[in-house]
Structure formats: C-alpha cells, structure tokens
C-alpha cells in the first residue's frame, strides 16, 4: 500500500493544481507536499504531474489515479461518519484562528457546553490568514472575501482595523495627528508586513517613519505588546474589543477602517447531513454574527 500521507498530499495537490494551496489545506509546507508527491511517484513508478515554472497539471495517469482517490476518500469519509454516528460519541472538529478563539470563542465555551452536552468539540488552531478549509475539519472559521465556491460559508462580521496603544503611551507620546507617528515604535504582525503602508493608503497619508519596529508572529502578541505600552499597533476590530472595554487599549488616532475581509463559518456541503455540525454552525452564527 502507498503511504497515506503521500496519497492525501497528492489528492489535495491534484484538486488545487497547486502545491502551495494543498499545503495550506493540510497545514504543512509546500516543499513537504512536493516531497510526499515525489515519494508517491517513486512508489508507483510513473509521473503524476507535469511540472512547469508557474503551472502544475496532471498527467493522464495522474488524472485517472486522482479521480479514483477522490472517490475513495469521499467514501471513506462518509463511512467513517456513519460508523461514528451509529457506535461512537459525537465529535466535531472546529478549526479556528488563534486570536478569534482567545477573544470570542473561549469566553463562550460554557454556553456551548450547555447547548451541545452530548457532543465532543475538538478545537484546532489554524494560522490567522489561512483561507482554506482544512481537510480534517468539520467546521472552520475563515477570514477572507468569501470566495469559496466549494464551501458552504456564512459571513459573521467584517474585519476592521484601527491604530491602538496603551493610555499611558498615548499620553506620553502626545499622539494627535497621523504625522505624530513618525519616530515612534510601531508594532507589526509578521504575517501582515505591509499593514502600516496599507493603513496609510487607506487614510490618505504618508507611511509613518518608525523610530523602531517590533515584530510578532501572532495577533495576540501584537495586542499584548501594545497594551504593555511598547508602541502603536494596528489591531483588528471587533476581535480586540474586550481590550478597549477593559481600558488596556485606547484608539491612538480615532481611525477605524473597513477592510474587504469578513470572518466566515464554513463547512463542506456534504456536512449538511450531520445535525450536530449544523447545530454548531447555527450556534456560531447566533453568537458571533454582527453588523459592524
């Protein structure tokens, strides 16, 4: 039998015709997907893809094998769900961006427990910019424009951004105008390296000239650093709303900018047959859908 990891990598790469998008779905690197596919080709003894500089296409053999595998995986998933429904305790796998989980979902877990007492919920944290539904997830919270024709996605709320800092930092720095940011410490999310340039374009001003830049790999760390008075950050609204309510953060300049990104709760169309998944999806919509 060929390795299961290699089969999953090939199925995802063949569906997307992209190692990068397959890697995002499987939560691995593109090189890992490419390596798994090469291992499978060595095992089979023939090429599955035609590799070009900027394009990936299936060979005739690859197309035939991919169609077979897609059917096998679909049948395996369906049979697994049926067996679990008949003999096992219900479990739903929910994939969520870390800051969304920390700020919105975790405070509501007790309410969720009371609504679904007989179902186990497995929370899996995914990268905050991940825009594809993980293969192993039943439900996921995705951030993007909503262009997922292969998914059943319900919008929750629009992502806004604003500049924020601690009350003490704003008082000490005397921020009043956009140009007052020049020379200050700016806090940056590594996954959004152009955030300050994009912010400046949105408010029609020149990008600030930072005195120092602090970079973090999570939104939670960005918000925490701003609350500790280390500098000015661009934070997400309404995800960071509790930090403002507690007084840990204040708006630095009174700006609040609409983005073209929305948070969505998404599932594959086939999951509509599972009452527990639908119940959780509807609960998420009731709890977190808002007009912002």
Residue ranges, comma separated, of all CATH 3.40.190.10 domains in the chain are 89-157+261-288, 159-259
Residue ranges, comma separated, of all CATH 1.10.10.10 domains in the chain are 4-84
User: What token pair was written down for 56?
Assistant: 């990936």
Name residue, tokens 């661009």.
Answer: 234
pLDDT score for 290: 83
pLDDT score for 177: 92
Give how far Cα 37 sits from Cα of 31, 53, 74, 132, 242, Å.
10, 17, 20, 20, 45
Domain at 159-259, CATH class:
alpha beta
Instruction: List the pLDDT tens digit at each of the 292 positions of the chain.
Output: 888 999 999 999 999 999 998 988 888 899 999 999 999 999 999 999 999 888 899 999 999 999 999 889 888 877 877 776 666 557 888 999 999 999 999 998 888 888 888 788 888 887 656 667 887 788 999 988 888 888 899 999 999 999 999 999 999 999 999 999 999 999 999 888 899 999 999 999 999 999 999 999 889 999 999 999 999 999 999 999 999 999 999 999 988 899 888 999 999 888 877 888 898 999 999 999 987 5
Contact 110, 80 (CB under 8 A): no
CATH 3.40.190.10 fits domain 89-157+261-288? yes
pLDDT score for 250: 96
pLDDT score for 78: 78
pLDDT score for 190: 87
Give how far Cα 281 sits from Cα of 38, 155, 156, 175, 223, Å.
38, 11, 11, 42, 28
CATH number of 4-84: 1.10.10.10
């Amino acid at each position: 039998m060929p390795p299961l990891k290699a089969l999953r990598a090939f199925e995802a790469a063949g569906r997307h015709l992209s190692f990068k998008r397959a890697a995002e779905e499987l939560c691995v690197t593109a090189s890992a997907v490419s390596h798994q596919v090469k291992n499978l080709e060595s095992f089979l003894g023939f090429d599955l893809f035609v590799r070009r500089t900027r394009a990936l296409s299936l060979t005739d053999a690859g197309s035939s094998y991919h169609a077979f595998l897609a059917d096998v995986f679909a049948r395996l998933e369906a049979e697994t769900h049926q067996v679990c429904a008949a003999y096992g305790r219900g479990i739903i796998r929910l994939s969520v961006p870390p800051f969304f989980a920390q700020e919105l979902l975790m405070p509501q877990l007790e309410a969720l427990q009371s609504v679904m007492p007989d179902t186990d919920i497995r929370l899996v944290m995914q990268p905050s910019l991940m825009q594809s539904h993980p293969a192993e997830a039943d439900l996921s919270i995705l951030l993007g424009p909503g262009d997922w024709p292969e998914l059943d996605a319900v919008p929750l709320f629009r992502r806004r951004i604003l500049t924020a800092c601690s009350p003490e930092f704003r008082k000490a720095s005397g921020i009043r105008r956009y140009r007052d940011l020049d020379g200050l410490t700016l806090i940056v999310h590594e996954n959004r390296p152009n955030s300050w340039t994009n912010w400046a374009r949105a408010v029609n001003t020149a990008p600030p000239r930072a005195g120092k830049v602090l970079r973090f790999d999570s939104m939670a760390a960005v918000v925490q650093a701003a609350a500790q008075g280390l500098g000015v950050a661009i934070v997400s609204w309404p995800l960071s709303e509790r930090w403002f309510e507690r007084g840990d953060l204040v708006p630095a300049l009174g700006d609040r900018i609409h983005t073209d990104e929305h948070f969505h709760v998404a599932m594959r169309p086939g999951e509509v047959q599972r009452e527990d998944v639908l119940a959780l999806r509807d609960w998420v919509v009731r709890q977190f859908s808002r007009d912002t």
